[in-house]
Amino acid sequence: MDGDEAVRDQPPPLELPADPASAHGARIEAAFLGALAGERAAQAPAAAGDLLEVADSIAAVGGFDAEDLRRRGLVGSSQAGPAGLLLRAVPYALLAPFDRPRVRRDAYRVAALAGADEGTAVAAMATALLVADLTRFDLATAVVRVYQSLLEDAPFALLERLRIGGAVTAAASDDDPGVALQLAIAGALGAEQVEAAISGASAPGRRAALSLAGVLAGTRLGSAGFDSAWRAAVPHAHRAATLAAAVASRAAELAEASAAPG
C-alpha cells in the first residue's frame, strides 16, 4: 500500500506557514468545523469526535503514532459504524497533503488499527487522498485523481462509488463506508457553503456521510464556506480551531523538514 503507481506527479514540497490564519490552516479549521456541523445535522454521533482526537494526537506527537492512538481509545469501532472510521483518516491528509504515499499509509494504518476490514481501510485511504487533493483541486478533478490512484488497490464496488453522478444503489440503512463517501461527494459537489454540502448529503441512517460532506466542502472552500454566525453555532468550534492551528503548525514543520538539504 506504500506506492502510488497511477499518480506519479511529484509537486514541490508543501510550504506552509505555522500561522493558523494561513490558507492551509483555514482549510483545516473549516474541515474540522464541517465534520462537527455534519454531526449536529445528524443529531447523533458521526465520528467527528474521533477526527478531533486524531488531530489532538497529531498535535502531540507530530504524526501517526499507534501507541498514542491506543491510549486515546482509537483502536475500536466508531460510534457511526465502519463509515465513521473514514473520519479518522482526515487529519493525516491535512497534515501532509502533498505527500501522497504518506497519506495513503497513515490513512490505511489508522483504519486497520481499529480492526477495519480491507475494504473499509481502502475507503479510508480514498477519503484521505480526496481530502488531500481538495487542498489544490476542485472536487470533480480530485475524484478522478483518487480513482486513478486506487485502480490497483480498491475493490470494484468502491471504484464505482468514485464516479461523479453515480447512483447510490445500497439501501439507506446500509453501513457501507463507500456509500457514505459517495453521498458525501454528491452533497459537496458544486456546494458553495459547507452547510449546503451537508444538506445535500442528508439521507436516513447516514450520519458519517454528513460529516464527510462537511469535511470535503470545508477543505475545498476554507473560510469562504461559512460566515461568522454559522461558525459560532457549531458545537466545539473553539476546540476545532485550536486543533486546526496545531495541525497547521505540524504541517509547517514537516514542510520545513522536507525542504531542508540532505
Higher pLDDT, 256 or 116: 116
From residue 52, alpha-carbon distances to 78, 96, 202 in Å are: 13, 17, 22
Q: Which range, of 37-46, 51-60, 201-210, 228-237, averages the lowest pLDDT?
A: 201-210
Least confident of 20-29, 34-43, 177-186: 20-29
Q: What is the pLDDT of residue 90?
A: 98
Domains of the chain from N-terminus onward: 23-259 (1.10.4080.10)
**pLDDT single digits (tens) 80-128:** 899 999 999 999 999 999 999 999 999 999 999 999 999 999 999 999 9
Angstrom distance (rounded) from CA 248 to CA 236 = 18
What is the pLDDT averaged over residues 167-194?
Answer: 81
Quick one: pLDDT at residue 166? 61
pLDDT at 165 (0 to 100) = 62
Least confident span in 13-27, 120-134, 138-152, 198-212:
13-27
DSSP 48-99: HHHHHHHHHHHHHHSS--HHHHHHTTTTS--TT-GGGHHHHHHHHHHHSTT-
Chain centre to alpha carbon of residue 243: 15
Model confidence, pTM: 0.87
Residue pair 110/121 in contact by the 8 Å Cβ criterion: no
User: In this predicted structure, what is the pLDDT of residue 149?
Assistant: 86
Query: At residue 204, what are phi and psi to the nearest 5 degrees?
Result: -55, 130
Whether the pLDDT of residue 20 is over 60: the answer is no
